Chain A
Amino acid sequence: MPQILVEDLAKTYRVAERDPGLLGAVKGLVHRRHRTVEALRNVSFSLEAGELLGFIGPNGAGKSTTIKILSGILKPDSGTVVVNGLVPFADRIAHVSRIGVVFGQRTQLWWDLPVSEGFDLLADIYRVEPARYRANRDELVALLRLDRVLDQPVRQLSLGQRMRAEIAAALLHEPDILFLDEPTIGLDAPSKLAVREVVRRLNRERGVTVLLTTHDMHDIEALAQRVIVIGHGQVLADSPFETLRANVLAERRLIIDFAHEAPDLDIPGVEVRSRKGQTLELAFDPARTPTPTLIAAIAATHEVVDIHVGEPAIEEVIARFYDLHGAGEG
């Protein structure tokens, strides 16, 4: 049996709506209108121990709902969810002892307490045996380079230091699974690299299963072996990262600077993405329209100053992927 098994998971929320302003608030007291939001419908996937899965999707796509159900905070309307052989919402206490969760936006440490005291308290909360706790803490402190911040109150840490402390805090009780929700949000470049390095090592060296949600495609590129794309509460794609990349990166971009105003080209299989002044941006599939052929054809009929061949940014490709499935924001 896989470590995480999710089958036909569905969840709808009832959201109370009210008109703005004082009058709206009063009306809301008397008569409440409700809107039903389908957060998840028929989500299924499974994860084996030791996998590193990236979870991507726009806001409101169902990422957070899925993480909340997997971590036992939320009960699904229907469907099956089994993690480590337990049903998270039914066996909450046994379940949460075996998982670690990091929310990029929220701290789990004590703002006014030194990092080390927060760790001590967490070890007591999770009933970690003292000897194991000390060994584990020392290892994490070395791995996450926390020795210099251990005695500082959490409120004095930089965001990058705090995020490393958060990850250590989530691992003190040696969970088999780590949920990371936007772990690099707001971090500077070196801190992002440090966080990615740590997650990779935890996964490879300690065999921790990692489920990561992020908006940062570089996180996914650097870490995830497998990616699930979620939109409108459904799994749109579930494939190894390389497959996803090959599919979405098949497209090429051609940016041409002309000596004159950019012409309005009409070539079959080639899409004009933008035409501004003397610059033209084209999108095409190199399998159908070989790049040299296209360049030769344009250079033969127009005076070209410069040519640049590129790939679309992965963010843009994912966004188009959503458009294709009608699963944009909102």
Chain B
Amino acid sequence: MNSAALVLRYFSASLRSQLQYPGSAIMLGIGAFLTTIIDMLAAWALFDRFGQVQGWGLGHIAVFYGVVSTSFALTDFFTRGFDVFGNEFVKTGAFDRILLRPRSPALQLVGYEFRLSRFGRLAQALLVLFVGAAVVGVDWTPDKALLLVWTITGGVALFTGLLVLQASFAFWTTESLEVFNVLTYGGIQAAQFPLSLYAGWFRNFLIFVVPLGCVAYYPVLAILGQPDPLGAPDWWLPTAPAMGFLFLAISFLAWRLGIARYTSTGS
């Protein structure tokens, strides 16, 4: 069985074990939907008071937020294994079992759990995205729809990279590092506002270190049909999501180093 088919087999097994407690999965999903709605309420309160900020309105914010939050919700479905990697695998020695199976460790961690409850977050993110797009009048031509898919794919790559990096650190710390939540959850908060609002150093951080701006701000400008107020060239706007894949590739280098360390120290 090839890797893609095996991942689906893992997911179907994971769904069946979660459906042993269907009430729990449904309640968690509704809870995720409601708590993430609060993100938008905060932005709404802000813009209700100030109207527009540097020409950006609530509709724009909703599109930025919706894109990055959709990417994260999709990532969250299949990265649970990386999220809990330190505590559940390194500390307990369960990673030994992963190494005893003739498949790549990353693939087995993806198969660890398919989080059904994430539908709540995904539904909220898509709702915000398309309502926001309607408010600012985005015309969904095929090329814009395609650009949206590409942007979200880049976002999934970036968030997956963050979780792989978080898991890689666990080879050294043996704990799951909660500090990474600053980059994932905090990143969503930061990326919902246009990069042009931020101070230079923070903008550079979101472009060059953790390139959240490249999987939200730049491509969304192209979707909105607006030039970058900071003067990035037009060709760059739809190209930027590729940075997500670069980040993912670098994260996997750290992951490989981590595994090499694990097999030479056994802890």
Contacts and interface: CB of A to CB of B under 8 A. Distances in A.
B100 A96 contact: yes
Interface residues of A, number: 31
B103 to A, nearest CB: 6
A187 B1 CA distance: 36
Interface string B1-28: 1000110011001001100100000000
Interface string A172-209: 00000000000000000000000000000000000000
Interface in A83-118: 89, 92-94, 96-97, 99, 101, 103, 106, 108, 110-113, 117
A74 B263 contact: yes
A73 B13 contact: no
Interface in A294-328: none
Interface string B149-170: 0000000000000000000000
B10 A117 contact: no
Contacts of A13: 265-267
Contact of B1 (A75, A108, A127): A127
B101 A126 contact: yes
Nearest to B95: A73
B181 to A, nearest CB: 21
Contacts of A96: 99-102
B266 A113 contact: no
B96 A110 contact: no
Contacts of A279: none
A124 interface: yes
A72 B99 contact: yes
Contact of A113 (B5, B17, B100, B108): B17
A140 to B, nearest CB: 18
A12 to B, nearest CB: 10
A126 B102 contact: yes
A14 B265 CA distance: 8
A72 B102 CA distance: 11
A106 B6 contact: no
A71 interface: yes
A73 B99 CA distance: 6
B49 interface: no
B141 interface: no
Contacts of A93: 102-103
B264 interface: yes
Nearest to B99: A73
B93 interface: yes
A71 B97 CA distance: 10
B102 A127 contact: yes
Contact of B100 (A14, A73, A110): A73
A125 B97 CA distance: 13
Given A89-B263, A106-B93, A113-B13, A71 B20 contact: no
A121 B9 contact: yes
B96 A73 contact: yes
A65 B102 CA distance: 20
A93 B100 CA distance: 8
A112 B265 contact: no
Given A103-B97, A124-B1, A124-B5, 12 more contacts: A13-B267, A71-B100, A73-B266, A74-B264, A96-B102, A110-B17, A113-B13, A124-B6, A125-B6, A125-B101, A127-B102, A153-B20
Interface of B: 1, 5-6, 9-10, 13, 16-17, 20, 93-94, 96-97, 99-103, 108, 263-267
List of 6 A-B pairs having minimum Cβ-Cβ separation, nearest first: A112-B17, A97-B102, A93-B102, A124-B1, A74-B266, A73-B99
